[in-house]
Amino acid sequence: MKHVLVTGGAGFIGSNLVKALLAKDYKVTVIDNFDTFYPRQQKESNLSEFRGRAEFALIEGDIRQMADLEKAEGVDVIIHLAAKAGVRPSIKNPILYQDVNVSGTQNLLEFARTRGIKQFVFASSSSVYGVNENVPWHEEEKLLPISPYASTKLSGEMLGHVYSHLYGIRFLALRFFTVYGPGQRPDLAIHKFFKSILRNEAIPVYGDGSTSRDYTFVQDTVKGILAAVEYEETNFEIINLGNHKTVTLAELISAIEQTCNKSAIIDRQHEQPGDVPRTYANISKAQRLLGYNPSTELMEGLDAFYQWFKEKETVLL
């Protein structure tokens, strides 16, 4: 039974991933510090179905503390999802983002090196591309990040290259593109929009609604991560995990209105610094190396989120 350490496993993508790993008979240890960026209550709910299972363990700890990492013994694979998240908050507190996202990644790579762990999957971000009109973005694009969060993700990729080169660690950096679905963080647009529309509250819309994103359903992202865990062909790769489709903000709001059968109250605001106008993934490399094939249409994914939201609404208050 392969033992996987998942950092940030109590979070949105992490808890969906843990469920999939356990279904495939992996042993899973989660390390999470239950950061107060959003309520602990939701993270506890995310983990509730795993607690008590013999093949699951939880370490409440900090990836920057080697003593916390060393509580995980016999690890074969690290999937590093933990990070200070969000573009706008990173502009307000760039030093903290550098500390957690870069120093934390360095610490995990040292843990991998000293323990002889040879498979390291890293959650990077489409934000590393910055403002780039050459869409869809492929992995060899020139990178010009425009937020501290984005720069920390690029730093993590380059640290991985160093450890792969020096110590033979297989490092796979997966650039996620606007992941959504059941369990989504409350600070992200789809979650915020559903909550506000259902409660007859105004939703903040930055700009004229023409910005667009490559929305990727969480189960499609998870399938890409699972394939990366088993990948053995090369020692260092950077791979987009997107949906290869773009949806404007105006189109997204309309789709959410259809899903919950209610109209949105729009609070139009100025565009925010650090936000990029468009994200759009070229996924040909993921298809070739990982057999990646995102198949969830937007309306299907939004309905899955809506059903989860209604089920968990008391937890999400």
Residues taking part in catalysis: 149
Measured distance CA(124)–CA(158) in Å, rounded? 11
> Would strands 247-248 and 212-213 be described as parallel, antiparallel, or unpaired?
antiparallel
Cα→Cα distances 80→1, 40, 123, 124, 173, Å: 20, 20, 6, 9, 10
Measured distance CA(296)–CA(191) in Å, rounded? 18
Q: How is residue 311 written in tokens?
A: 């089920």
User: Residue 77's beta-bridge partner residues?
Assistant: 4, 119
The sign of the CA dihedral 5, 176, 95, 11 is negative
Contacts of residue 12, Cβ cutoff 8 Å, sequence gap at least 6: 46, 179, 183, 184, 185, 218
Burial of 196 (0-12, 13-18, 19+ CB in 10 A): middle
Instruction: Say which residue the tokens 């997966």 belong to.
Output: 174
